[in-house]
């Protein structure tokens, strides 16, 4: 039941300022689930 309710529900939403660094803008790319963490790779937009 919980899986159906939470399907496609974001667990985190990046703020635009969190995806800017050194005058460049980035966006989330690959998301990998690990035993003890979630790894989000970013790429330049």
pLDDT in tens, the chain (45 residues): 667 777 888 889 999 999 999 999 999 999 999 999 999 999 999
DSSP summary character for residue 8:
T
Q: Does pTM surpass 0.75?
A: no
40, containing H or E segment = strand 38-44
Looking only at Cα atoms, what is the longest distance across the chain?
A: 44
H-assigned helices in the chain: 2-6
Contacts of residue 42, defined as CB under 8 A and 6 or more positions apart, other chains included, come to 19, 26, 27, 28, 29
């Amino acid at each position: 039941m919980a899986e159906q309710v939470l399907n496609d529900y974001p667990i985190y939403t990046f703020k635009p300022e969190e995806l800017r660094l050194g005058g460049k803008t980035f966006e989330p790319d690959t998301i990998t689930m690990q035993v003890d963490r979630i790894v989000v790779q970013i790429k330049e937009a």
